[in-house]
């Protein structure tokens, strides 16, 4: 069943150049196709059975909140669903764990091939459902393809002979086996890439799962389930429930759940970790938690940095996808000697950003995900000003038709201020002055998070200092702090940013397996 794909070296999926007329036309056609399909209903899927409940909820377009993207069953309204899904996954695990590694990997290669074929259509769904611009949506789809291609190849590697020390008179072997049934709880901000990556990493390692997408992005997950059905993934391997917190809670606390893979907020991640640590009646294992929980990411700019390069990197990292990335730059920490000059350049570049509908190719900044994010962001902006900050760009929003926040820069922020410490997850950049490079690194590290960061300097000595002392899981030197590539930049953070599971890295699949050593006496 193995294809030639599995024998090739992994290569990242190229991004689409929408300045090419044929690519732009293809994307416009995909947007038209998706628009014609808006408002359809998407069922829950358990062991291949399609289930439609009486209680439903709508997924809406954040940029045009009167538009219903899709209708989904409210899983919380039927408390038996989680039990049914986990039972189905448990039964499927009995056989799936023994499917040859090459055959499991082949399903990932097939899924990647279908996504590549429908790249623009999948991207168009994200334009509508989570208000991604063309480029951001295209990057998300490319990353989903990368995860499938990369994890398929990695499982072939982990499924092979593992090195151990020989010992006379014994046949010793070591290998990896799957864990069991997992709860997959992905975020809305990378609704295809992270969702597909989390799901298929667990699956290719031999596990079966129950997938509950965010209630802000259930349709793109339903589209992925359709792809898994199309490629013939056996029933029960991936079970799909749409719902909200109660469904996720039931998945986490179920005694047959062996592991939980979660990406989302710090608060929810800590709650999941706490609940997973409790042993329920009938539970015979310590549950494993793989968690990525966000950040308060900083870009540090030294007095000798290339300010043009730093300015463009900061603006891209702060306002790409409306700042709704756990890797987004939400703090700019700059040497006082170049502060004013850099702030002027950043403000000028920000003024050039086009805020508007993500359906338009020229849009740089679209809507935040929902009304809660909109209101919370304005509250944070007010808090920043009340604590002494000075708005130099943006500072307002418009929710008449969609949830639009103008890209906001707040200067004169002091270390320890609320907007310098708490994750806002919106297009808001706090600018902090530092006495020197040492002080800037000190400020950058003074947070409970540790996900991404960047440092700009012409001095290799300073860059080496950042390499050594800047305490984040993903550090970038003389470039922006967003845009991690599968296989190139294994992704995950320290402290309250999560368990540092390094998605897209060579060790990631180990999170979903356990080592088994077998020794046989010979002779």
List, by residue number, the catalytic residues: 292, 326
Q: Which among 192, 159, 140 has a CA at the least distance from the CA of 512?
A: 159
Q: Rounded distance, CA 406 to CA 137, Å?
A: 20
| Cβ-based neighbour number of residue 17 at 10 Å | 11
Contact (CB, 8 A) for 456 and 469: no
Block residue for tokens 């416009």 = 28
Q: Measured between alpha carbons, how far is residue 241 from residues 73, 130, 209, 267 in Å? A: 8, 19, 11, 22
Give the Cα separation of 321 and 139 in Å (integer).
11
Measured CA to CA, the distance from residue 512 to residue 289 in angstroms comes to 10
Token code pair at residue 402? 């969609």
Q: Which residue has the tokens 């509250």?
A: 379
List, as own/partner pairs, every contact residues 17-22 make where C-beta atoms lie below 8 angstroms and the sequence separation is at least 24, other chains included.
18/134, 18/135, 18/138, 18/361
**495 neighbors 473 (Cβ within 8 angstroms):** no
Instruction: In whole angstroms, give the CA distance from residue 396 to residue 246.
Output: 34
DSSP string, 331-360: EEEEEHHHHHHHHHHHHHHHHTPPBS-TTS
- Using CA atoms, how far apart are residues 282 and 256, in angstroms rounded to an integer? 8
Tell me how far apart the alpha carbons of residues 304 and 284 are, in angstroms, rounded to a whole number: 58
The helix/strand count (H/E) of the chain reads as 15, 23
Counting beta carbons within 10 angstroms of the beta carbon of residue 329, is it exposed (0 to 12), middle (13 to 18) or buried (19 or more)?
A: buried
Report phi then psi at 95, rounded to 5: -105, -35
d(Cα 179, Cα 197) in Å, to the nearest integer?
A: 17
Q: Strand runs (DSSP E) across 231-374, as ranges?
A: 238-240, 259-263, 288-292, 297-301, 329-335
CB environment 174-207: b (16+ within 10 A), e (fewer):
eebebbbbbbbbbbbbbbbbbbbbbbbbbbbbbb
Direct distance between the N- and C-terminal alpha carbons of the chain, in angstroms, rounded to an integer: 37
């Amino acid at each position: 069943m193995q294809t030639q794909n599995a024998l090739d070296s992994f290569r990242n999926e190229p991004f689409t150049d929408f300045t090419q007329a044929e690519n732009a036309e293809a994307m416009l056609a995909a947007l038209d196709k998706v628009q014609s399909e808006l408002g359809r209903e998407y069922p829950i899927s358990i062991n291949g059975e399609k289930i439609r409940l009486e209680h439903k909820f709508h997924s809406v377009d954040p940029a045009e909140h009167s538009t219903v993207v899709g209708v989904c069953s409210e899983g919380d309204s039927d408390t038996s669903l989680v039990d049914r899904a986990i039972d189905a996954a448990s039964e499927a695990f009995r056989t799936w764990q023994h499917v040859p590694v090459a055959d499991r990997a082949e399903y990932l290669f097939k899924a990647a091939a279908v996504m590549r074929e429908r790249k623009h259509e999948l991207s168009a769904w994200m334009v509508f459902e989570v208000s991604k611009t063309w480029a951001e949506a295209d990057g998300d789809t490319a990353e989903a393809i990368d995860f499938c291609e990369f994890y398929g190849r990695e499982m072939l590697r982990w499924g092979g002979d593992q090195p151990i020390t020989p010992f006379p008179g014994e046949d010793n072997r070591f290998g990896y086996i799957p864990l069991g049934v997992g709860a997959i709880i992905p975020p809305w901000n990378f609704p295809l890439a992270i969702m597909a990556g989390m799901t298929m990493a667990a699956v290719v390692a031999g596990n079966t799962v129950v997938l509950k997408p965010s209630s802000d992005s259930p349709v793109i997950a339903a589209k992925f389930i359709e792809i898994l059905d199309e490629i013939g993934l056996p029933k029960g391997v991936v079970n799909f429930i749409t719902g909200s917190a109660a469904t996720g809670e039931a998945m986490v606390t179920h005694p047959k759940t062996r592991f939980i893979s979660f990406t989302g907020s710090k608060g929810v991640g800590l709650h999941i970790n706490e609940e997973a640590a409790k042993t329920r009646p009938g539970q015979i294992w310590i549950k494993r938690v793989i968690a990525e929980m966000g950040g308060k990411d900083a870009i540090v700019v030294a007095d000798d940095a290339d300010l043009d390069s730093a300015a463009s990197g900061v603006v891209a990292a702060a306002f790409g996808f409306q700042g709704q990335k756990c890797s987004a730059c939400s703090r700019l920490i700059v040497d006082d000697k170049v502060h004013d000059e850099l702030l002027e350049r950043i403000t000028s570049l920000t003024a050039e950003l086009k805020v508007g509908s993500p359906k338009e190719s020229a849009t740089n900044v679209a809507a935040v995900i929902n009304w809660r994010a909109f209101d919370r962001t304005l509250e944070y902006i007010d808090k920043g000003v009340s604590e002494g900050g000075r708005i130099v760009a943006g500072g307002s929003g418009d929710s008449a038709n969609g949830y639009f926040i103008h890209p906001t820069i707040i200067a004169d922020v002091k270390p320890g201020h609320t907007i310098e410490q708490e994750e806002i997850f919106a297009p808001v950049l706090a600018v902090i002055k530092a006495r020197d490079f040492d002080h800037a690194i000190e400020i950058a590290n003074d947070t409970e998070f540790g996900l991404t960061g960047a440092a700009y300097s012409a001095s290799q000595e300073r860059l080496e200092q950042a390499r050594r002392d800047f305490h984040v899981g993903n550090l970038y030197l003389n470039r922006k702090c967003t845009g991690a590539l599968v296989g190139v930049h294994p992704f995950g953070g320290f402290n309250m940013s999560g368990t540092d599971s390094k998605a897209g890295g060579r060790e990631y699949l180990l999170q979903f397996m356990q080592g088994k050593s077998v020794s046989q006496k010979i002779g």
